[in-house]
Amino acid sequence: MMSPSTRAARKRNGPRCPNACDSCKRRKEKCNGQRPCTRCLKRKVEHSCYFSDPRRRDVEVRPDNALQPSEDSPAVGELEEDPVIDATDSQPRDLHLSHLRIPVPGISRLLRDPNSSFVFIGEYANLSFLHNVRHLVQSKFGLWQSMSQPGNDLTMQSGEVSHHDWLSTGKDLSMAKPDIETGKQLLADYLWSTSCILDVLDPDEIKAKFRAWLSQPVEPSDPVSPKYYLILALGAQASPEFSDEDAESYFNAGRYLTMTHFIDKPAILGIQCHILITMFLIGASRRDAAFLSFGNAERAAYALGIHRRNISRVFRKAGYEARERAWRNIRTLDVFLACSLGRPMATSESRNALAGDNYSAVAGLCYITESIFSGIYGKSVIDSNIVESISKNHRIWLSLLREGLAFDNISPELELTGSKRPNMGLYHIRNGYYVSIILLTRPFLIHMVSQNRSRHQGEKWNEHSSHQAAPDAPETAYAYACVDSATRIISQLRNLVKWPNLPKHLPFVVNSVSVAALVVGLAFFANLDQRFPLYECLWDSTAILKTFAKHDLVARLYLAVIKDLESACRAYVTQRDRPAQGSEPQLMGGQFGKFQIGERTEQPVATALAGGGGGGGGGGSSRSDESVRDQPSTISDIGTADLDSLDAAYFDFGEGPDITYDGLHWTLPAEETENPQQHSQIEVDEINFDPNVLSGNQASWSFPSRYNATIPESVFWPPQ
């Protein structure tokens, strides 16, 4: 029974928050439960306001209604009698998930965008997964502490162009249309780069009418002009031969004309223009602006009844196909924005997307992904019935894939017939399939990583590294499926970037490789590098992101993130495997003796930097000669070191000032230099690199001769 003093205190302090953030729990402060909470906002640490899943009662979780088909479409259960599906269903084994209670990470947050406004990022967004991975690696393993997130790093998008800028430039239609040959090239680049993503316009029809429009003078009153200007904008945005400024000029004209003609009335042509605007803004890394523009297309579609196939069938063939195309494109963009921003989907499928006439592989994949959002995320634990139902839908989708690709006009070959270009449509559809598997199974991988650390909290690294669940265990099988899908994405995109003259902007490709790289990095902390080629995949993912980083802000920011994650992975593997090393020299010395005359007594640089207990929590130093720590190692000659592992390490240059390495530059404090105005950075290129890359991604290096550098005891990294 509650005492009077407790009742009085509770009445005075108000109701207790059922779930406080981790920061308030650690500081034993009162939390209001908001995301971010008031305490973290006052302390200006809202970016670190995390909410761990509270312990919940073991309750039954029912399947989500979103997995049920609509009343006017056949039930998904009826598809189980299809003989093709029966043959497929006999292949997978029953994983018996009914006993599992796998928690679903639920990190939703408000982040400050480049315009200093708070925007909502949901739990299944890529950014939420990134923060989840980083928080898990930091809290469980004590690594990845140095990642900074200034400015637009928080939301992974660029600032929106001001209303005045695009409106004033859009009014200026004095810019001549391109000549016919240039226009045809831009149209070809548009169709190629958006294959499978945007089929809002019939290719044969647009090719026939586009040439006639190019040959006519500029006519602002023509309602088809905004559509064609937006096609030019998307083609210039993709083409390596045109600048982003050219693309922006075409886009401003098309956007202005769209607002002039279709701002206050729903129309098929207006929906098409808003879809094209949304796609351009996604490619320009302005996803919040794309999200708002997409709302115009989605609301207009519902106003015209495009979401209902039985209504579209009232129209003639051309009108019916235009409405169906518009709906497929709206669904595709809705799924992408939901995946990248974590916001609830604005549409729901009223058709039976996994069977029937005019079956579309794109529409079927959107339906499966929607069921993952509604059935997996936003719940406290994973319901085994939903997981099994969704995985069954994946098998149904694969059994109908060739039929669906033919309807979507996507060739099953990797190279387009008659042109030396990769088939972007097939790359996009394959990426979407594997990303949907990652979305379904990554809670299992997160659970595996969490259990890996907590299960072996008191064991040595080399002891717990061999502890792995059996592959046949249901939770392990799904975690493996997550990592396998990520490695397959990176493997196929590694082949894609080998093609010359790729589009500058491929936002769906960048999204896929970013998610896959985060999964691969997280898999290291479940010791899955012993089962999957994680090192190779992480290296390839950075190479893929570098291909697009010059023009794509999201690729550039994720490239920096993956490099930080790669350093944390190397540090973890070093700490994990360190106790298993170090006995070989003693064994050799005991057997054959030790030749010491003329031998250097200092410890190799790479060993010094990689050694040490560190914040990773596992194992202490394995150095056999502890006196080495008292003897500085001269590195004016060539040594070996992994430069990325020197993050935040300090070097003493004789009597001179300290110098730090931030992953890109060796920097002297400005106040220590003779001339504070002088640039005080030593570029990495100034350090002599050996082109031969050694094992473990290490490279031979030496400082310029004018520096006499030594490594004192304080440089051992991670710190003791």
pLDDT-based confidence at residue 290 (cuts at 50, 70, 90): very high
Q: What does the pLDDT average to over 114-125? A: 74
Residue 407's DSSP bridge partners are: none
The closest of 315, 326, 168 to 253, measured between CA atoms, is: 168
Residue 652 has φ and ψ, to the nearest 5°, of -105, 120
Per-residue pLDDT, 175: 63
Residue 278 pLDDT > 90, yes or no? Answer: yes
Per-residue pLDDT, 114: 61
Q: What does the pLDDT average to over 505-514? A: 95
Range of lowest pLDDT (16-20, 95-99, 134-138, 573-577): 95-99
Q: What CA–CA distance (Å, rounded) separates 236 from 193?
A: 11
285 or 88, higher pLDDT: 285
Angle among Cα 436, 442, 444 to the nearest 5 degrees reads: 130
Q: What does the pLDDT average to over 19-37? A: 80
Q: What does the pLDDT average to over 47-54? A: 62
pLDDT, tens digit, 9 for 90 and up, residues 352-379: 888 777 899 999 999 999 999 988 887 7
Per-residue pLDDT, 155: 55
Q: What does the pLDDT average to over 466-482? A: 74
Range of lowest pLDDT (130-134, 318-322, 370-374): 130-134
Q: What does the pLDDT average to over 247-263? A: 90
Cβ pair 322, 301 in contact under 8 A:
no
Range of lowest pLDDT (31-35, 226-230, 494-498): 31-35
Angle among Cα 252, 257, 262 to the nearest 5 degrees reads: 130
Per-residue pLDDT, 24: 84
pLDDT-based confidence at residue 73 (cuts at 50, 70, 90): very low
pLDDT, tens digit, 9 for 90 and up, residues 596-623: 776 655 443 333 333 333 333 333 333 3
201 or 470, higher pLDDT: 201
Q: What does the pLDDT average to over 200-206? A: 86
Per-residue pLDDT, 4: 53
Residue 639 pLDDT > 70, yes or no? Answer: no
22 or 182, higher pLDDT: 182
Handedness of CA 417, 420, 425, 426 (dihedral sign): positive
Per-residue pLDDT, 116: 61
Residue 523 pLDDT > 70, yes or no? Answer: yes
pLDDT-based confidence at residue 268 (cuts at 50, 70, 90): very high
Q: What does the pLDDT average to over 477-506? A: 94
711 or 220, higher pLDDT: 220
pLDDT-based confidence at residue 67 (cuts at 50, 70, 90): very low
Q: What does the pLDDT average to over 398-402? A: 94
Per-residue pLDDT, 183: 92
359 or 455, higher pLDDT: 359
Round the CA-based radius of gyration of the chain to a whole number and report it.
29
Torsion of CA 327, 328, 331, 332, to 10 degrees: -150
Residue 432 pLDDT > 90, yes or no? Answer: yes
Residue 331 pLDDT > 60, yes or no? Answer: yes
Range of lowest pLDDT (165-179, 439-453, 477-491, 543-557): 165-179
Per-residue pLDDT, 78: 32
Mean pLDDT, the chain, integer: 73
Cβ pair 452, 479 in contact under 8 A:
no
Peptide bond into 36 cis (omega under 30): yes
Q: What does the pLDDT average to over 230-256? A: 92
Which range, 83-92, 132-141, 361-370, 445-454, has the best average confidence (pLDDT)? 361-370
Cβ pair 629, 620 in contact under 8 A:
no
Residue 326 pLDDT > 90, yes or no? Answer: yes
Q: Which residues have CB under 8 Å from 331's CB, separation 6+?
A: 347, 349, 362, 363, 366
Q: What CA–CA distance (Å, rounded) separates 188 from 197?
A: 15
DSSP structure class, residue 365: H
Residue 124 pLDDT > 60, yes or no? Answer: yes
Q: Helical H runs in 307-354? A: 309-312, 317-341
Per-residue pLDDT, 131: 85
Per-residue pLDDT, 267: 94
Which range, 58-62, 69-73, 372-376, has the best average confidence (pLDDT)? 372-376
Residue 510 pLDDT > 80, yes or no? Answer: yes
Tokens 């495997």, residue located: 577
Which range, 368-382, 423-437, 462-476, 582-596, has the best average confidence (pLDDT)? 423-437
Q: Beta strand 658-661 with 665-667: parallel, antiparallel or unpaired?
A: antiparallel
pLDDT-based confidence at residue 26 (cuts at 50, 70, 90): confident
pLDDT-based confidence at residue 139 (cuts at 50, 70, 90): confident
226 or 68, higher pLDDT: 226
Residue 585 pLDDT > 80, yes or no? Answer: no
174 or 645, higher pLDDT: 174
115 or 367, higher pLDDT: 367
Q: In percent, how much of the chain has pLDDT > 90?
A: 36
Three-class SS of 437-484: HHHHHHHHHHHHHHHHHHHCCCCCHHHHCCCCCCCCCHHHHHHHHHHH
The overall pTM is greater than 0.75: no
Torsion of CA 672, 642, 632, 637, to 10 degrees: -90
Q: What does the pLDDT average to over 266-274? A: 95
Per-residue pLDDT, 529: 92
Q: What CA–CA distance (Å, rounded) separates 577 from 530?
A: 12
Per-residue pLDDT, 34: 78
Residue 304 pLDDT > 50, yes or no? Answer: yes
Which range, 290-304, 461-475, 663-677, has the best average confidence (pLDDT)? 290-304
Residue 578 pLDDT > 80, yes or no? Answer: no
Range of lowest pLDDT (33-42, 318-327, 631-640): 631-640
Q: What does the pLDDT average to over 511-518? A: 96
Per-residue pLDDT, 3: 55
666 or 503, higher pLDDT: 503
Q: Which residues have CB under 8 Å from 282's CB, separation 6+?
A: 290, 333, 336, 337, 507
